[in-house]
Structure 1
Amino acid sequence: MRLNQYISSSGLCSRRKVDVLIKEGKVTVNGEQISLGHVISEGDRVEVNGLLIEAKENDIYLMLNKPPGVTCTAASQIEGNIIDFINYPERIFPVGRLDKQSEGLILLTNDGSIVNELLLEENNHEKDYIVTVDKKITAVFMEEMASGVEIYNPRKKENVRTKPCKVVQLDDTCFKITISQGLNRQIRRMCRRFQFTVTRLQRVRIKELPLGALALGQWRQLTEEEIAGLK
């Protein structure tokens, strides 16, 4: 197994971050600094900044129908964090985020190797959301949302234009939107651009994985077929 995959699968960080740590000389195998692309063997002692990296006995993949009010962070000092909410007996972390007010499908795992695959924007993975707004939807609103909207990106500290996306009206105040980006509070910011306020936001699909009939606040293990689909 490649070293960066071994370390990321422990849940410490992503493979991209591991590569940075290797370049910085912070990773050792059997006490020696190594180069990018290193392949480890059974019995090798891997350390990052002196911390021994233990191989996991098994990979964990969960899906949760997150209720509003739960914060998608593994930080134990944050009240209402998702790890305390799910109360799983082994160490896991959320893949990506749903903002605190939003609900729906979120994944939790101890496999850091899938994080980049699911979260990198250039991978163009689709996600479906059901959105309810505070007033009657218009045809112009639907058209403008689908064609791309200029919103503020707090990470870049500048306005950016969202990618064109699919938008389908469901009733007078509700629509489904399919996006492949994950900008901060993207859908809420898109709606606000047209003076609409989101009153409910629910994620119902990630790639080929639907939320299905999983009840709000409940979680389950992914099947082998679902795991393969994510990878």
Structure 2
Amino acid sequence: MRINKLFSNLGLCSRKETNRLIEANRVIVNGQLCEPGQWVKEEDIILVDNEPIPVKDKIYIALNKPVGITCTAAKDVKSNIINFMNYPEYIFPVGRLDKASQGLILMTNDGDLANEILKSENEHEKEYIVTVNKPFDDFFMKGMSEGVEICETRTRPCKVSRISEDTFRIILTQGLNKQIRRMSKTFGYKVLRLERIRIINIKTDGIDIGKWRNLTEKEIIELRNV
């Protein structure tokens, strides 16, 4: 694999940060200065600052993201999720939850597990509670559940159930950009509040807005086996 992916999978640093290390001549592969995007093998001898790659413990966190925080590690975005958490180790968000939404986001340094969670073909469930700007009828619920044309594609069928006259629960198995907001807009509704309460087997139960907790060993095992 490319060295950028290796460093990310090992929880050492991001792929962009890997490029910075390489450009600063701080990475050596088999006695030679590493080149950007270089392919490496497990048996290669890789040094960073003339030291073997440190073995990092895997980190798995469930964060209840507040509104106003952006799910990016980009340093030029002041409201980025990394600055918000100020976590002492390198971690990154698994997927995204738009700035205007709140709720569950998984944070980790395990690139392999993150990739498995995000693979569209795995059809992992994500559950949301959504409030729109006016009461909706059964036609809206039926249309949302059967799939909607957005982003030049048709969304997968999903589960939709009513909570109140203007609030519903929806379970998706894909993650198109602002999917629920765009689906709702197709039917003439504006999302006022969107909260993600579950990703696969991980829930926000017991986590206050803006707080986080480490996943349990049981939860991690279940995530790896889905």
Question: Which aligned runs of 4 or more in structure 1 are off by greater than 6 angstroms?
Answer: 50-53
One-letter identity of the residue aligned with 1:68: V
Structure 1: distance between partners of 2:65 and 2:51: 33
Would the alpha carbon gap of residues 111 and 53 (structure 1) be closer, same or farther in structure 2, given more than 3 Å must change? farther
Aligned to 2:93: 94
Aligned to 1:113: 112
Matched residues, number: 207
Offset, 1:30: 1.6
Query: Is this contact kept in 1: 2:4–2:14, CA < 8 A?
Result: no
Aligned to 1:104: 103
Aligned to 2:30: 30
Q: Normalising by structure 2, report the TM-score.
A: 0.82
How do 1:1-231 and structure 2 match up within 5 A? 6-7=6-7, 8-10=9-11, 11-13=13-15, 29-31=29-31, 38-40=41-43, 44-45=45-46, 54-152=53-151, 159-231=152-224
Offset, 1:226: 1.1
One-letter identity of the residue aligned with 1:57: K
Query: Is this contact kept in 2: 1:130–1:176, CA < 8 A?
Result: yes
Q: Deviations over 1:15-74 (max 9, x none)?
A: xxxxxxxxxxxx9742479x9894337xx3267xx9988333311111110000001111
Q: Deviations over 1:189-217 (max 9, x none)?
A: 00000000000000011111111121111
State the SS of the aligned residue for 1:171. coil
State the SS of the aligned residue for 1:129. strand
Offset, 1:91: 1.4
The runs of 5 or more residues in structure 1 that have no matched partner are 14-26, 153-158
State the SS of the aligned residue for 1:76. coil
Structure 2: distance between partners of 1:31 and 1:119: 36
Would the alpha carbon gap of residues 51 and 62 (structure 1) be closer, same or farther in structure 2, given more than 3 Å must change? farther
Q: Normalising by structure 1, report the TM-score.
A: 0.80
**Alignment RMSD (CA, Å):** 2.7
Structure 1: distance between partners of 2:75 and 2:31: 32
Structure 1: distance between partners of 2:215 and 2:175: 23
Identity %: 47
One-letter identity of the residue aligned with 1:172: E
Would the alpha carbon gap of residues 114 and 4 (structure 1) be closer, same or farther in structure 2, given more than 3 Å must change? farther
Structure 2: distance between partners of 1:53 and 1:113: 21
